[in-house]
A and B are shown apart, each in its own frame.
Chain A
Amino acid sequence: MMYLDVTGGCTLPLQSGIPRTTREIHRLARERLREMMPIRWQPFRRAYTRLSSRATALLENRPLENTGAQRPPRDTTGPLLRAALRDLASWPAAVPLHRTLGAADTLLLTSLFPDNRLAYLEKLLAAPGRKIALFHDAIPLHDPNVPAWEKKIHVRALRLVARFDLVVAVSDAARDDLLALSAENGIPAPRISVIRWPVPFHGARLGFTSPPTNPRNVLYVSRLKQVKNHAALLAACEMLWREGRDFSLTLIGCEDEARESEAVLREVKRLAAAGRAISWRAQVSEDELHAAYRAASFTVFPSRREGFGLPIPESFWHGRGVICSGADAMGEVSRGPGAIHVDVSRTEEIAAAMSRLLDDDAACRKLALEAYARPVRSWNDYWKDLEPCLAA
């Protein structure tokens, strides 16, 4: 039996990286494994449970269609706990892994949220069966704004997964980061395999369309968080608008903690009030996301740090060039044609790269063609790499 912790994909109707990849791994496991049970962590019961009907709907269907919410949720602790509380009402059956996990069983964590499940999983280490975790990133440990007490919880999570049978890192950069963080935090090096994400879209690849030139539109898909560096992008765009460049900027991405998102939203509102062509959507369906990519002349991804950077291959899949950092995981994912690397901490560099594409339609189209010509990984490719890890 494979127990699949899908908490990250069945709690909130979000379309960010972890929920999307969790849902896809669940779909693949359901289709391809004989025995698989999705489970979610219920923080109020301090136990894993089966999924409520609401959680199952979120996991299996288009998330937006399953909620009556007026406003897309923030991806923060409050909404997560409220959703867990709502699930509590239906009291789904508990899954006592500490008793049921057998030597032939596998527990796969599709993400590791550092909540009170850490204590449970620490006890579970003594139980038989393989324990595998996907490692996305350790961004909070690099963020000097994250307080020490919070970092200690993340270190505790690293210490836990180091004792798992296997950690599946989403990129070479994530693996290297995990090894470095383990060393400096006194944690023995975990056993790690690297399996890169595929392009997270369903269905056949859409045909190439030329990037629109009139009007020109720039797209940035990312949650509103300081590390995502919206501030530098907005400053670069304002610089270009002041110089008279005609383009619109579309931001797509959910809100994070208020201290992370509010400054970005304030700046977006200020620019919109000043008549700049800027729009923000917190949540879109997959079809709307496709449409946004196809309406973009090119995309920018000025994030300072990522475990992978899913929007980069998404942009390539649609045949849209990307301006992004060449460092860490983003450099790894985008290396090659179709991408322009800049120092994302320098507003002027972002602006210069954007202006080259805004001013030169031929260069923009060439970059788009290069992006489209890149090989793309599918979920089938991903499963081929993951399956041996589950069985080993």
Chain B
Amino acid sequence: MIYMDVTSAAASPVNMGVQRTVRGLHAHLRARHPVTPLRWDFRGGCYARLSPREDANLDHPFASYRDASATPGRWDWRHWIGDWRDTRTRPARRIESRDILRPGDMLIIPDLCWDPRIHAWAGMAALPGRKVAIFHDAMPLRIPGQADSHDKLFAEYVRQLAQLDLVICISREVEDDLLRYWKEFDLAPKPACVLPWPVPFDEARPDTEPNFSARRIIYVSRLKLRKNHLVLLDACETLWRRGETFALDLIGIEDAFTDTRKILRRVRALARAGRPVRWRQHISDAELTEAYRACSFTAFPSRLEGFGLPIIESLWHGRPVVCGRNGALGEVAAGGGCLLVDQNNADELAAAIASLLNDPVLYQSLYDETRRRVFRSWDDYGRDLDQILGLDAAG
């Protein structure tokens, strides 16, 4: 039996990078193999089977809310009551580690385990079943001291990953980081490999036409200072002052209070000054697809990413991306369709945005590059994953 830790995707309807990929992985693995999704019970210190509400969150995150929100479910009394009920009934659904890690069993942990569940991994190490994790990034070690960042706990998470049998990294850079930090921590390296994410959509690729005349830019990312919204807003303000006409939509959930407040203050100040900028909050997949269709191109000025899923999403929708070239961003952008800049330099970012707004030849050429790109699907990902895990198609 394959067990999958889907804690963050089951706990709420939030559907940002990690949850989106956990949901996609679960849905596609379940189609080929018997899979039991589990969530970590923080009170019991063990895994538990999902409640019907958690199952629904995992499979249909957008069923429980219709409107965009800063954090889906956070201010919803139905979510609170459901959560309270699940907490009360969870002890009956608990399942001990020894029961999910018997010979022939496998536990896949695609979640970002930046919490106390990692302390159980040492105990699991002696159990016969295979333990496989997906590692998203080493951000708190690379950029320590970010708001609400528990850097020490994250360092412990990276250490504890060495207790598992295999760690699948989502980009070459993430694997380099993992191996490097294991070395720094004097830990014997465990097998690790790279398996990049596919395009996280199931439907056929939309035949989107270029949309040069829309003069609308979107940035899909949570509101966190590391994501460089402030530099993007500075760049856009420079262009608006110069008389450029275009609109900017920010899409994504809130993050640490202090980070989000700084970004929203700036957004509101610009909006008050009449600039066409808005925060659309966390929106459903259908709305996101529509947002990609309606924009001319996207900006992704994040300083550092483990993968950069919105870049792939944007290119898949036929929308060029203005983004940085460092690390995993460069890996994802390398196939074409991206205008690479120093994303920390507001002037350079502004120049790149202006060129895409005003140069139809450049825009068309980047659009053509996006159409020529070949994207990995969940089927491709599943085939590679089966090979890595030694699973045959029948399970």
Contacts and interface: CB of A to CB of B under 8 A. Distances in A.
Contacts of A180: 326-327
A98 B303 CA distance: 33
Nearest to A187: B344
Interface string A158-198: 00000000000000000000011011111111000000000
A142 B138 CA distance: 12
B184 A188 contact: no
Most chain B CB atoms below 10 A, which of A142, A151, A179, A183: A183
A152 interface: yes
Contacts, number: 55
B189 to A, nearest CB: 9
B151 A189 contact: no
A44 interface: no
Nearest to B346: A188
A144 B184 contact: yes
Nearest to A232: B186
Contacts of A187: 344
Give the bracket for the number of chain B residues in contact with chain A: 20 to 34
A56 interface: no
Interface stretch (B78-86, B142-150, B212-220, B379-387): B142-150
Given A151-B145, A189-B342, A183 B184 contact: no
A345 B144 CA distance: 24
B304 interface: yes
Contacts of B342: 183, 188-189
Interface in B166-209: 180-181, 183-186
B181 A184 contact: no
Contacts of A183: 303-304, 324, 326-327, 342-344
B141 A186 contact: no
A188 to B, nearest CB: 4
Given A144-B155, A180-B327, A304-B184, A185 B143 contact: yes
B146 to A, nearest CB: 9
A142 B143 CA distance: 9
A359 interface: no
Interface string B226-237: 101001000000
A183 to B, nearest CB: 4
B350 to A, nearest CB: 12
Given A148-B145, A185-B303, A179 B345 contact: no
A143 interface: yes
Contacts of A144: 141, 155, 181, 184-185
Contacts of A186: 225-226, 228, 231, 303, 344
A189 B141 contact: no
Nearest to B146: A148
A304 B183 contact: yes
Contacts of B151: 148
Contacts of A189: 342, 344-345
Contacts of B324: 183
Given A144-B141, A183-B324, A188 B345 contact: yes
A148 B181 CA distance: 16
Nearest to B230: A186
Contacts of A142: 180, 184
Contact of B142 (A145, A184, A304): A184
A345 B183 contact: yes
B221 to A, nearest CB: 14
Contact of B326 (A148, A184, A304, A345): A184
Nearest to B141: A144
Most chain A CB atoms below 10 A, which of B225, B226, B304: B304
Contacts of B180: 142
Nearest to A182: B344
Contact of B145 (A149, A188, A345): A149
In the A-B complex, list the 9 residue pairs whose CB atoms are closest, starting with the nearest.
Answer: A148-B145, A188-B345, A148-B144, A184-B304, A183-B326, A345-B183, A189-B342, A188-B344, A184-B303
23 contacts: A144-B141, A145-B184, A148-B144, A151-B144, A179-B326, A180-B327, A183-B303, A183-B326, A183-B327, A183-B342, A183-B344, A184-B142, A184-B326, A185-B303, A186-B228, A186-B231, A186-B303, A187-B344, A188-B345, A188-B348, A189-B344, A304-B184, A345-B186
Given A184-B326, A184-B327, A187-B344, 18 more contacts: A142-B184, A144-B141, A145-B184, A148-B144, A148-B151, A149-B145, A151-B144, A179-B326, A183-B324, A184-B142, A184-B143, A185-B143, A186-B228, A186-B231, A186-B303, A188-B344, A188-B348, A189-B344
Interface of A: 142-145, 147-149, 151-152, 179-180, 182-189, 304, 345
